[in-house]
Every structure is written in structure tokens, then in C-alpha cells.
Amino acid sequence: MRHGGVTAASPDAAAWVGDGTVTEIREAELDVCARPGRREQSMELDRDAKPDRRAPERRHPAPALARGGATPAWAADHATARSRAAADEKSAEDAEAGRALPGSRAAGAPRDRSPLASDEGSPVPTDVARAAGADPTVARVHEGPEDQLFTSMLGARAATHGRDIFLARGESAHDVPLMTHELTHVAQGGDQVRLRKATHYERRMWLGFYDHYLPRKLLKNYMDDTGKAITLTAQEMIDCNPIVDLRRSKRFMTEVAGLAAAGGGTNAVKVTGWGGARTNGTLGNFTITYDGIVTVKADGSWVYLGTMTFYDYWDFDPKGAGSGRSTPAELQVRVAAALLPGKPFKIFSVVAALTQTSDDTRAQWGDMKAPAFVDDKKYRGAADIATGDVAGGPAGADVIGTQASEDLNK
């Protein structure tokens, strides 16, 4: 899904499927308790207006279309003026889900001031700006009771929109690491949502796509936004239900052809080739590195004995026709690229022994069972409203592909 991964028109599915391809949309477990605490998390929010004192109204936000990117970016979809209402739980939920906050620019607000800001705010402390290498005049800090409550309800320590930085209760403008991070967002500019970690609502929203433990593990790692690499165990390699076939490696088959042309022989080989995970949400199209010995006869028949490792760059990378993805898979990637915050990461694996002959339809390794297709969840829960509606449900056909590294050795 990335991500890194809804908008594009869908060409004929046949144009997307290609040579055999794995659909995946990642997801992670979620503690759906109230506020996720003081997480290292920061957003650039979209739009809102002035405060009023209405009682909180609890609702789930509807999905919003996105401009796309590795981190979500939404345009505001309402021009009607609405109150900012720091105590308004609906506004907090909308923002937390990454949705544009409804409302128009507050009347009379300076063009360089966020419509989320009800006042001019305070300058960044000089010593903090100096430590961050920033001009203290480029940003304004908002830490009044209303700003603190509003930001805290997002489950964030701080939120940045334009040049305005909003701090949650208990946070300080003198916190150099926090302010340095927020000043980076100010320098980036733009009305974009940026998260260091996915909010609890977003985690909940993506949870309904999978029952299988492995997609959950990978999506959780993505949404933790650390970029930490993962090494698959031998069992996790098997649970990806991968297609492993040395004939998918052009370099291997070139080596075989060369030995056959020379009348046969034995050579050490270390080559890479395509792999396709049939458990949706795991590796998709990925790279296999083979390291072993191949013996070839003059008639072209061969035997390989050796090992393999897996590699994937786990992101949500929208692609066009001819990528090898099915149309539903590509749509899921675009949904995640637009809506799912997080950071791509590398996946490696332990070394696994395998053997294959020219008569085998696939390599023999692990439990020797043929890879089985494991689809995503066909019946989504209420928690999946936003992404489920946009993505159109499960990936459908027994194909391979939403994300991962179709570009081998990425």
C-alpha cells in the first residue's frame, strides 16, 4: 500500500496484472483506549476557524481525497466557516484521522497566519531558535489553554500548520528537540499533514484489513515511523507463502545456458531473482538472493544446491500500467500512500537452504508445501470506514502485488 499508498483511474485489470503479481495493504494492531499518551508525534494540520463554546460532538470523520505522497496531505473540503472549538471532540477526531478540518480562513487573519490560530502567538525563544539554527521570527508559538487542549486531543505533543506551532498541555517552547522538529515543519511549509507516528484512530482504521499476524507486524513497524529494519525468521519466510523459482532469475538462467553451451559443468553462483509473496500485506514483489552451486549437463538440465535470503523495501509506491499490479492492488497502494503515515523500512531474512532441478516447478525448501494464497480481510469492521470505502474492499483476485520492491534490489 504506500506508500510508499487512491485516486488514479483504473486501466483494464489485464494491463496491470502482468507476469504474476502480490496484493498488500498493511496494517497494525491498535490499543483503542482513549488518548495514546504523550507520543513523539507531530502534525501539520489543514484548515479550521474560530472557536465557539458548543458541547463536544462525537462522530467519526468521512474519508477525504488526498493529494498523495509518502506522508498524507489533504485539501480542505468545506468552505463554510466552522468554529475551531478546542474542546470540540469532532474536530480533534477529524484532524487525528488526517482529514482536513472544515472551515474557512478566519476573517481578518493575516495571510501568513494559520487559520487555526486565534491569536498572534509568541515568538520562538531566542536560545531555542539559536540551538535549532532557525530565525526566531519565522514561527509563532501557541500554548494557551485552548491550544493545549486542542493539541492534546489530537494525541500529539505538538502540531504545526504553516508558521504556527501549537503545544499540548505539559509541553514547553523551551524543549529544544521538540521545537527543532516543529521548526523543521515550519521550514517545509505547505498545508500538509505530517506525522512522526500514526495516531490511534489511524491504527484502528487500518486494522480491519488483515487477520494474518505478519501483515499486522509489518504495518505496525511502518506506522511506528522509525524506519527500523526487520529480519524475517525461517517461519515468517514460509508464512509469506512466497513463489521461489530459480528460473525467475535471468542471471541464473544465463549461467545455465553458458554451462550447457560449453558441454556442461559445475559453477558457484550468487544471483538475484524475483520473488512473489502470496500472503497479502507481506512482501509483495521482492528480491531473492541465491548463493550456491549449479551443475549443468550438456542437454541443459541442471541441479542447484544452496541457500537463499529475502530482501524487500517496504513502502507504498504508486505505479502506472505495466507495473505488474492488479487494478485493486494499485488502488490500495494509492490509498495508503495518501492516508497512511509512517516510514518505509528494509526487510531482510535469515539464510534458508534450498534445492531445485530443471524438472521442478518451484524450489524445494522449508516445509516443501506449495505457497498458498492468503487474501486480505473480506469483511471489514466499522473501524475501516474511511480507507475501506475508498479502497473498495479486498484486493480480490489471486494475484501478487500491491507494494514492495517491484524494482529488484531497490
> How far is C-alpha 74 from the geometric centre of its chain's CA atoms?
16
Of the pLDDT bands very low, low, confident and very high (cuts 50, 70, 90), residue 331 is low
Of the pLDDT bands very low, low, confident and very high (cuts 50, 70, 90), residue 191 is low
pTM above 0.85, yes or no: no
| Type and span of the H or E element at 334 | helix 327-339
Q: Which of 2-11, 24-33, 399-408 has the highest mean pLDDT?
A: 399-408
Predicted confidence (pLDDT) at residue 22 exceeds the cutoff of 90 = no
Q: Which of 28-37, 118-127, 143-152, 360-369 has the highest mean pLDDT?
A: 360-369
Q: Which of 5-9, 157-161, 336-340 has the highest mean pLDDT?
A: 157-161
Please give the CATH number for the structural domain made up of 212-391.
Answer: 3.30.450.400
Separation CA 142–CA 122 (nearest Å):
7
Predicted confidence (pLDDT) at residue 316 exceeds the cutoff of 50 = yes
Task: Give the mean pLDDT of 29-47.
Answer: 32
Predicted confidence (pLDDT) at residue 151 exceeds the cutoff of 90 = no
What lies within 8 Å, CB to CB, of 377 at 6+ separation is: 208, 209, 210, 211, 394
Supply the Cα-derived Rg of the chain in whole angstroms: 25
Q: What is the mean pLDDT of the chain?
A: 67
Predicted confidence (pLDDT) at residue 36 exceeds the cutoff of 90 = no
Q: Which three cell numbers stand for residue 317?
A: 509506491
Predicted confidence (pLDDT) at residue 136 exceeds the cutoff of 80 = yes
Task: Give the mean pLDDT of 100-118.
Answer: 49
User: Hey, CA dihedral for 400, 315, 229, 208, is it positive or negative?
Assistant: negative
Predicted confidence (pLDDT) at residue 123 exceeds the cutoff of 70 = yes
Query: Residue ranges of the alpha helices (H) in 83-191?
Result: 89-96, 126-132, 145-153, 176-188
Domain boundaries, the chain: 37-198, 212-391
Cβ atoms of 218 and 347 within 8 Å: the answer is yes
Predicted confidence (pLDDT) at residue 261 exceeds the cutoff of 70 = yes
Q: How many residues does the chain have?
A: 410
Of the pLDDT bands very low, low, confident and very high (cuts 50, 70, 90), residue 65 is very low
Q: Which of 209-223, 277-291, 394-408 has the highest mean pLDDT?
A: 277-291
> pLDDT tens for residues 221-259?
988 888 899 999 999 999 999 999 999 999 999 999 999
What lies within 8 Å, CB to CB, of 161 at 6+ separation is: 44, 45, 46, 114, 116, 117, 191
Predicted confidence (pLDDT) at residue 95 exceeds the cutoff of 70 = no
